[in-house]
Amino acid sequence: MATCVMMKNSIFLIIFACLWTCHDARDTLAPGDTLDSSSSLESASAKFTLSFVDQRNSNFKYLAIRRNKYNPNKAWIGNRNRPISSSSSPLLTLDSNYTLKITQTGEDPIVICSAPQTSNSTSSGVVATLLDSGNLVLQEMNGSRVFWQSFDYPGDTSLPGMKLGVNHSDGHIWSLVSYVDTYNPALGPFSLVWDPNEHELKINKSGVVYWTSGVLRSDGTFEFILPNVSKQRYNFSIVSNENYGYLTYTAVGDQSLQPEWVLYSSGILQEYEGQMNIVQAQNCDGYDTDGGCVRRFQSTKSSGTKIADKWVWIGTSIAAALVLCTAYYLLRRRRSALPSAGENRTEIENEMLIFMKSN
Ligand SMILES: *[C@@H]1O[C@H](CO)[C@@H](O)[C@H](O)[C@H]1NC(C)=O
Ligand SMILES: *[C@@H]1O[C@H](CO)[C@@H](O)[C@H](O)[C@H]1NC(C)=O
Ligand SMILES: *[C@@H]1O[C@H](CO)[C@@H](O)[C@H](O)[C@H]1NC(C)=O
Ligand SMILES: *[C@@H]1O[C@H](CO)[C@@H](O)[C@H](O)[C@H]1NC(C)=O
Ligand SMILES: *[C@@H]1O[C@H](CO)[C@@H](O)[C@H](O)[C@H]1NC(C)=O
Ligand SMILES: *[C@@H]1O[C@H](CO)[C@@H](O)[C@H](O)[C@H]1NC(C)=O
Ligand SMILES: *[C@@H]1O[C@H](CO)[C@@H](O)[C@H](O)[C@H]1NC(C)=O
């Protein structure tokens, strides 16, 4: 019995030691380092990973940042519009010129970002690090300057801490853009943007606004973002000055339930694997304003058109019925008077004339 327990313990120890030492995950690429399609970067506390991922139902690979869990969402994609053939062996490299890029044989490199190489501020070296927030940053080795960060280039997903809005200094816009369809992450029809003047989130489809959130109320909720849920789930903060106008959210309460807002190609804004849709812009047909939908068509015109349509339909039906009845009547008359055909024809013609006049 005792030996059994001892054996069990030692097995655990061995497994634990192996996990500890075999775990060579790194969170940083230094100049000259590469990531191939079977390796990954892992953030310091293993919350997020960066790796090449095969896209389901397609023949392509994407460089993606994903939460370290079962069936994760692609929170960020480095090559949305430049899919990599799943048969190719891409490499992510931070080269000696401080350029982070994807290379593959027979294709032009996909440049993700680069740091200025001649400035003295980079004399201490530049590294690319995946942070526990899910943010990939290209920064000075000692961390004092950030040259680029994935949080500034969202895909269809907003993680806590990401911005939605505008940097007035350089015009940069932080927004979400949906996939083209379920499996194609190229830029699709729906966008989620923050309007820094009206202080509202908006979903637009091909530039036409379908939905607005309403303004942030004093109780910390938006009128059209799950009022009873958002207060317990999200802590919104708005920054608005001459340099920036943006919104961020953090998660409140159970920190194991870290939300990811995803704008789907159907127009739904949903928490990834969440029970509820945050917004359903695809239900915004342009006629009503329920749930923050924007009216794009005049509803009076719509009901007017509907009534007109109804009368056209009724009119057509009555006319069709009349024609059928007349045809039937004439046919019967003609049949019953077959023997004297010549006389009958004029009779029919006369009756038709009378009928047409009466009409
Ligand atoms: C770095 O930049 C120099 C000058 O533009 C170029 O000659 C060199 O090939 C670049 N190195 C890499 C690894 O791309
Ligand atoms: C960089 O530093 C060197 C020596 O410290 C100096 O000679 C050079 O002018 C500096 N370059 C810039 C762009 O500041
Ligand atoms: C980081 O490196 C830069 C450039 O070498 C230097 O000026 C700065 O003092 C360093 N910061 C820290 C905190 O070491
Ligand atoms: C806004 O743009 C300016 C100019 O490019 C830049 O210095 C600043 O860091 C940006 N602010 C944010 C929050 O990204
Ligand atoms: C719709 O979204 C796109 C993409 O972010 C943006 O460029 C455009 O200004 C938005 N249009 C409106 C009317 O908000
Ligand atoms: C939301 O909360 C309000 C008051 O706090 C309550 O009256 C209302 O029924 C709630 N709605 C839902 C859908 O739970
Ligand atoms: C919400 O965030 C603000 C700062 O952005 C913080 O002061 C406040 O305590 C947070 N509230 C909750 C409930 O976490």
Would you say the CB of residue 235 lies under 6 angstroms from ligand 7? yes
- pLDDT digit string (tens) for 48-81? 999 999 999 999 999 999 999 999 999 999 999 9
pLDDT of residue 9: 56
The conformational region for residue 20 under phi > 0 = left, psi -120 to 50 = alpha, else beta, is alpha
Q: Is the CB of 149 under 6 A from ligand 4?
A: no
The string of pLDDT tens digits covering residues 214-248 is 999 999 999 888 877 777 889 999 999 999 999 99
Q: Which ligand 4 atom is at minimum distance from the Cα of 152?
A: 14
Residues with CB under 6 A from ligand 5: 173, 175, 191, 193, 202, 204, 207, 209
Residue 275's contacts (CB-CB under 8 Å, 6 or more residues apart) are: none
Q: What is the mean pLDDT of the chain?
A: 83
What is the pLDDT at residue 100?
Answer: 97
What is the tens place of the pLDDT at every residue in 150-200?
A: 999 999 999 999 999 999 999 999 999 999 999 999 999 999 999 999 999
User: Is it the case that residue 22 has pLDDT exceeding 90?
Assistant: no
Nearest CA to ligand 1 atom 2: 97
**Are the beta carbons of 220 and 232 closer than 8 angstroms?**
no
Q: Is 294 exposed, middle or buried (0-12, 13-18, 19+ CB in 10 A)?
A: middle
Ligand 3 center from residue 146 Cα (angstroms): 12
Joined tokens for residue 161: 């801490």
Distance (Å) from CA 31 to ligand 1 centroid: 13
pLDDT of residue 47: 95
Secondary structure (DSSP) of 67-78:
ESSSS--EEEET
Task: Express each pLDDT in 114-133 by its tens digit.
Answer: 998 765 555 668 999 999 99
120 lines ligand 2 (CB under 6 A): yes
Residue 164 in contact with residue 176, Cβ under 8 Å?
Answer: yes
Ligand 6: residues whose CB is within 6 Å?
Answer: 227-228
Confidence (pLDDT) at 16: 45
**How far apart (Å, rounded) are the C-alpha atoms in residues 309 and 338?**
43
The ligand whose atoms approach the alpha carbon of 220 most closely is: 7
Q: Pick the range with the lowest mean pLDDT from 74-78, 127-131, 277-281, 309-313.
A: 309-313
Has residue 13 got a pLDDT over 60?
no
- 17-21, 103-107, 198-202, 265-269: segment of lowest average pLDDT: 17-21
Ligand 2 mean position, distance from CA 198 (Å):
46
Alpha helical stretches, state H, 138-179: none
Could you give the percent of the chain with pLDDT greater than 90? 54
Q: pLDDT higher for 291 or 71?
A: 71
Of 150 and 314, the structure prediction assigns the larger pLDDT to 150
Q: Which residue has the higher pLDDT, 116 or 40?
A: 40
Distance CA 359, CA 26 (A): 89
> What is the per-residue pLDDT for 171?
97
* Arithmetic mean of pLDDT, 283-303: 77
Average pLDDT of span 138-158: 92
Contacts of 205 (CB under 8 A, 6+ apart): 189, 190, 191, 267, 281
Counting ligands in written order, the one closest to the CA of 98 is 1
Better-predicted residue by pLDDT, 342 or 53: 53
Q: Which residue has the higher pLDDT, 357 or 277?
A: 277
Non-local CB neighbours of 99 within 8 Å, separated by 6+ positions: 111, 113, 114, 115
- The protein residue with its alpha carbon nearest to ligand 2, atom 7, reads 120
Which residue CA neighbors atom 1 of ligand 3 most closely?
Answer: 142
Confidence of residue 357 (pLDDT cuts 50, 70, 90): low
